[in-house]
A and B are shown apart, each in its own frame.
Chain A
Amino acid sequence: MTMQLTPEAFAARKRRNVWIALGLVAFMVLLFTTTFLRMMHNQKAAREAQGLVPAASAPVAPAAINGAVVP
């Protein structure tokens, strides 16, 4: 069955399709960015857990910065 669209219906459908496309693109961008941010966060947490980098929240003692042995 072929639908006979009026010019008005055709224009409305076209505008809806453009907005659906924009919405999907926006969703993809958000999903990509979210995944990227979470990966960064997880990698940082893994490095902290392995002791490769100091934990972000733990204050670094001045003695440790100067290379002195902390008693």
Chain B
Amino acid sequence: MTKTAPTSMISTAQPEDFFQLLKPRVMSLVVFTGATGLVVAPGSINPFVAAIAVLCIAVGAGAAGALNMALEGETDALMRRTRGRPVAAGRVNKNDAMAFGCILSLFSVMLLGMNTNWLAAGLLALTIVYYAGFYTLMLKRRTPQNIVIGGAAGAFPPVIGWAAATGSAPWQAWLLFAIIFLWTPPHSWALALYSAGDYAKAGIPMMPVAKGAKSTRLQILIYTLIFVPVAIAPGLVGMGGWIYLAVSVAGGLGFLGLAVRLWRSRAGDEPDKAEAVGREAALYDVKAQAKPARNLFAFSILYLMALFAALLIENLSGVSPITLGF
């Protein structure tokens, strides 16, 4: 007997859709920070082993992204920023995305363990479970501190890289973790200030939705005041050289300046009018009003990249770190 299957069972998903599930842009940052942890760690590692380790970290992070999209399909469909994602747009079935994420998680953790050591593999597994399970399923909808606690997931890659190279995770690795961990709140809240309407519609209690724009702007400034000294610290404790110190201080002052400007602005005060007054006009309005938030968001990405690039360049080119008697 021949029956025709329901159209929902027949997938027309392309390989590119599955690649989009890996969140390639996030993955590129993870590759960068993970590779930096691996290079900065003392000792030497076979270049091929190092390349496979970075690949495993990237695929593991991508798998966590796929699981996140599988679990958040309905929510993503409600927000302009995420409605084009493969599951939200209906191009990839939720179960397919879930299976894809689980298989890639398993393969990446297993290969990293066999290739380097099980501390690195364990940290990668922890990162995936932390992001997909703890952050996506539990934190995101329950507390305005979601991004503060959940930010740890994005901060693990340099520690995994360090562990892959040395089999240990000393305080220097955790200093790199702290940089990304403290960078996440100002970065994410700056974005949330001009997407608050979307988050409110999706029922996600991001800080501007739960506590208001004014409180968010103040908290961004407070986190920036904590973050900038931590970002400079590797240049003072023998991890970074003069290039790192110059980049971290100059960029840190720029970051602080933008955070102060944002704190004094009214970014996020007016609700997002995108749906009410028409897409094009509303986007223009949001841009004009939330310019300080957009500036900080864009600069935060640049600053983090510059910090890790400086460490990477110094270690690859043999620039001596600064020692101040620590």
Contacts and interface: CB of A to CB of B under 8 A. Distances in A.
Interface in A1-55: 1-6, 8-9, 12-13, 15-16, 18-19, 27, 30-31, 33-35, 37-38
A3 B10 contact: yes
Contact of B11 (A9, A19, A27): A9
A66 to B, nearest CB: 29
Nearest to A13: B11
Contacts of B2: 1-2, 4
Interface in B1-60: 1-5, 9-15, 18, 46, 48-49, 52, 55
Interface residues of B, number: 22
Interface stretch (B107-115, B174-182, B279-287, B317-325): B107-115
Contact of A12 (B14, B107, B115): B14
Contact of B12 (A12, A19, A31): A12
A12 B111 contact: no
A27 B111 CA distance: 9
B10 A34 contact: no
Given A3-B4, A9-B10, A37 B48 contact: yes
A2 B3 contact: yes
Contacts of A2: 2-3
A12 B114 contact: no
A34 B3 CA distance: 47
A8 B111 contact: no
Contacts of B111: 27, 30-31, 34
Contact of A34 (B14, B15, B114): B114
Contacts of B55: 30
Contact of B9 (A3, A12, A19, A37): A3
B321 to A, nearest CB: 22
A3 to B, nearest CB: 4
Contacts of A38: 114-115
Contacts of A1: 1-3, 5
A2 B1 CA distance: 8
Closest 7 CB pairs of A and B: A3-B5, A19-B15, A12-B12, A4-B4, A34-B115, A1-B3, A2-B2
Interface of B: 1-5, 9-15, 18, 46, 48-49, 52, 55, 107, 111, 114-115
Given A30-B111, A34-B111, 15 more contacts: A1-B1, A2-B3, A3-B4, A3-B10, A4-B2, A8-B12, A12-B11, A12-B12, A12-B13, A15-B15, A16-B11, A16-B15, A18-B15, A30-B52, A38-B115
23 contacts: A1-B2, A1-B5, A3-B4, A3-B5, A3-B10, A4-B2, A4-B4, A4-B5, A8-B12, A9-B10, A9-B11, A12-B11, A15-B14, A16-B11, A16-B13, A16-B14, A27-B107, A30-B52, A31-B111, A33-B48, A34-B114, A37-B46, A38-B115
